[in-house]
């Protein structure tokens, strides 16, 4: 194993990103937005998920 291989990536944008985006914990606003999203998705989700998934069988492609 060479040092080069194990060296940390330069990731030039990394520090900027962290400075810009602040701490990593999700804010309350984020969580509320996620709840709204799940509510919206509930309306379009297949009602009989188990059957729906089981019946989704294709032939191989390519």
Partner 1 sequence: MERRIFGLENEYGVTCTLRGQRRLSPDEVARYLFRRVVSWGRSSNVFLENGARLYLDVGSHPEYATPECDSVEEAVAHDKAGERILEGLVKGAEERLAEEGIRGEIFVFKNNTDSAGNSYGCHENYLVSRHKDFHRTVDILIPFLVTRQIFLGAGKLTQTPRGTAFSIAQRADHIWEGVSSATTRSRPIINTRDEPHGDPSKYRRLHVIIGDANLSETQIFLKMGTTALFLAALEDGALPDPLDLAQPVESCWQVSHDLSMRRPIELDGGGSATALEIQARYLEWLAKYVEKELDEPVWRQVIGEWERTLGLLESAPDKLADTLDWVAKKRLFEGYIERDGLSWADPKLRALDLQYHDVDPEKGLYKRLAAGGRMRRLFDDEKIALAASEPPTRTRAYFRGRCVTEFPGSLVAANWDSLVFDTGESHLKRVPMMEPLRGDAGRVGRLLDESEDAADLLQRLEG
Q: Is there binding between residue 49 and partner 1 (CB under 8 A)?
A: yes
Nearest approach, Cβ of 7 to partner 1 (angstroms)? 8
Q: Is there binding between residue 29 and partner 1 (CB under 8 A)?
A: no
Tokens of 62: 């390519």
Q: How many residues can be counted in the chain?
A: 62
Q: Is there binding between residue 55 and partner 1 (CB under 8 A)?
A: yes
Cα end-to-end span (Å), the chain: 39
Residue holding tokens 């188990």?
50
Q: Is there binding between residue 1 and partner 1 (CB under 8 A)?
A: yes
Nearest approach, Cβ of 32 to partner 1 (angstroms)? 12
């Amino acid at each position: 194993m060479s040092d080069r291989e194990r060296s940390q990536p330069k990731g030039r944008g990394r520090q900027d990103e962290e400075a810009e985006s602040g701490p990593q914990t999700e804010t309350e606003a984020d969580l509320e937005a996620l709840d709204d999203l799940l509510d919206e998705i509930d309306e379009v989700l297949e009602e009989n998920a188990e059957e729906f998934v089981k019946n989704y069988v294709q032939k191989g492609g390519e």
